[in-house]
């Protein structure tokens, strides 16, 4: 059974890679296809994982491909896929700010305030759960949530699918990427997830020092800082640094006392909202510290302005 599935998948991939016979024959029968110019072939794309990051297993079903990346980039930056036509994923996850924004709290459609700070999307492929409270376990299900979320893009599922299915550019790109058939929420999730698997950050001076053993990559004071970070200050207990790679997160949830009112009450219950476990009150996922100078302000509520203030905290 497994071998059969693999053979079918391989056929699909080959088919996408070299121009699809089935599509051509469909075109002869179906006037809808006949009226459109033939689809351009899709080609696989090799993503080189930077030094300092673990290997990535790209799903057999969804290898990175030329048409796929064109589609995914378009979906990610398309403001017309929000309720008021003003917000895209890229509005909040802006590459200029390491795929975050420079706001304390995100602003969604109709200038509505989100309750949390936008996290960077660098290296999200390695996360075991998504969002500050880890409420979503897979990258595919996470990827469609922002389109539908009233604090972000606020489109009803049917409206999102209608806008995509009515658009001939999206029809072509989805068909080149996934083969024929209507555009579904599942395909949108798979497309965005494939894009997220390419947002990688590594190969920094730190990575050359840590993973390649290049002792001269860091200055003396930077190397002493790293020693402090890993050993004496024990930051790396949570912001983990391995020998071969470093993600700067343990993927776990901790309460650091951020977001407490003057009366000592929590403004956001964090992980507790997912588990209903008292120990998780006010606990949030450890964020990565890569590209940290570009992602200010800091913490789940964006309440700390500068890195110096985080260290004091
Ligand atoms: C209005 C601003 C806004 C928009 C638009 C937006 N996001 Fe986000 N994103 C956020 C915020 C805020 C969070 C944290 C939410 C939470 O933890 O509850 C987040 C979290 C995420 C995460 C989880 C990261 C992690 O570290 O767990 C991913 C992945 C993500 N968004 C991808 C997307 C994609 C893909 C889109 C478009 C479909 C999108 N976002 C649109 C603000 C936004
Ligand atoms: C017990 C685990 C733990 C330890 C130890 C720890 N952190 Fe964190 N760190 C977190 C968590 C969790 C957050 C997010 C807290 C929140 O938003 O409520 C965080 C947030 C941060 C942020 C803000 C990142 C952002 O994108 O908002 C910085 C910077 C930071 N930590 C640096 C450090 C440094 C430096 C040390 C050592 C002195 C350290 N941390 C020790 C768990 C930890």
**265-306 confidence digits (pLDDT tens):** 999 999 999 999 999 999 999 999 999 999 999 999 999 999
Q: Give the number of other Cβ atoms within 10 Å of residue 301's Cβ.
A: 18
How far apart (Å, rounded) are the C-alpha atoms in residues 214 and 181?
51
- For residue 38, the model assigns a pLDDT of 79
What residues contact 161, with CB distance under 8 A and at least 6 apart? 182, 183, 184, 185, 188
| Under 8 Å between Cβ of 164 and 155 | no
**185-196 vs 139-148: helix axis angle to the nearest 10?**
110
pLDDT at 34: 54
Separation CA 214–CA 208 (nearest Å): 6
pLDDT of residue 7: 46
**Structure confidence at residue 40 (pLDDT):** 85
Q: How much is the pLDDT for 313?
A: 80
Q: How big is the CA angle at 117 (ends 113 and 118), to the nearest 5 degrees? A: 105
| Averaged pLDDT in 10-residue chunks for the chain of 313 residues | 41 34 40 66 93 94 94 97 96 96 95 95 96 95 94 95 97 95 96 95 96 95 95 96 95 96 94 98 97 95 92 81
DSSP state for residue 236 in the 8-state scheme: G
Nearest Cα residue to atom 34 of ligand 1:
89
What pLDDT was estimated at residue 20?
Answer: 35
Asked if 6 contacts 60 with a C-beta cutoff of 8 angstroms, the reply is yes
The answer to whether the CB of 121 is under 6 A from ligand 1 is: yes
Pocket probe for ligand 1: among 118, 134, 249, the residue whose CB has the most ligand atoms within 8 Å is 118
Q: How far is Cα 226 from Cα 241, in angstroms, rounded to an integer? A: 10
Cα 39 off chain centre by: 29
Residue with tokens 């893009």: 153
Indicate the burial class of 21 (C-beta count within 10 angstroms; 0-12, 13-18, 19 or more).
Answer: exposed
**Separation CA 167–CA 158 (nearest Å):** 14
What's the confidence (pLDDT) of residue 17?
37
Which domains are present in the chain?
Answer: 40-196 (1.10.760.10), 205-312 (1.10.760.10)
Ligand nearest to the CA of 108: 1
Ligand 2 pocket, residue 240 CB under 6 Å = no
DSSP per-residue letters across 149-206: -TTTT---HHHHHHHHHT-HHHHHHHHHHH-SS---HHHHHHHHHHHHTT------HH
Query: From the CB of 142, is ligand 1 less than 6 Å away?
Result: yes
Rounded to the nearest 10 degrees, the angle between the axes of helix 66-77 and helix 185-196 is 100
**Token representation of residue 298:** 């800091």
Residue 73: helix, strand or coil by DSSP?
helix
Length of the chain: 313
Which pLDDT score is estimated for 203? 96
List the residue whose alpha carbon is closest to atom 15 of ligand 2.
Answer: 299
Distance separating alpha carbons of residues 226 and 309, to the nearest angstrom: 19
pTM, whole model, 2 decimals? Answer: 0.89
| Residue 237 CB–ligand 2 contact under 6 Å | yes
98 in contact with ligand 1, CB cutoff 6 A: no
């Amino acid at each position: 059974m497994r071998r059969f599935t693999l053979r079918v998948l391989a056929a699909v991939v080959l088919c996408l890679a070299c121009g699809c016979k089935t599509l051509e024959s469909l075109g002869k029968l179906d006037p809808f296809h006949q009226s459109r110019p033939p689809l351009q072939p899709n080609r696989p794309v090799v993503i080189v994982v930077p030094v300092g990051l673990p290997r990535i297993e790209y799903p057999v079903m969804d290898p990175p491909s030329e048409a796929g990346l064109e589609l995914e980039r378009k979906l990610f930056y398309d403001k017309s896929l929000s309720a008021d036509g003003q917000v895209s994923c890229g509005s909040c996850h802006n590459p200029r700010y390491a795929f975050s924004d420079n706001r304390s709290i995100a602003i969604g459609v109709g200038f509505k305030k989100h309750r949390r700070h936008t996290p960077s999307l660098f290296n999200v492929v390695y996360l075991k759960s998504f969002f500050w409270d880890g409420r979503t376990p897979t990258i595919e299900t996470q990827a469609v949530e922002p389109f539908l979320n009233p604090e972000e893009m606020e489109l009803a599922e049917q409206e999102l699918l209608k806008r995509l299915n009515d658009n001939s550019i999206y029809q072509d790109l989805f068909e080149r990427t996934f083969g024929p058939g209507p555009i579904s929420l599942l395909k949108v999730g798979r497309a965005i997830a494939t894009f997220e698997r390419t947002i990688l950050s590594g190969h920094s001076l730190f990575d050359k020092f840590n993973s390649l053993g290049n002792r001269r990559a860091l200055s003396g004071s930077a190397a002493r800082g790293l020693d402090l970070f890993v050993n004496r200050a024990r930051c790396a207990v949570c912001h983990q640094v391995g020998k071969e790679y470093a993600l700067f997160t343990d993927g776990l949830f901790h309460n650091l006392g951020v977001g407490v009112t003057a009366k000592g009450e929590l403004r956001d219950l964090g992980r507790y909202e997912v588990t209903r476990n008292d120990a998780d009150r006010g606990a949030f996922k450890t964020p990565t510290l890569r590209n940290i100078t570009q992602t200010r302000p800091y913490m789940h509520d964006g309440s700390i302005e500068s890195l110096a203030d985080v260290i004091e905290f």
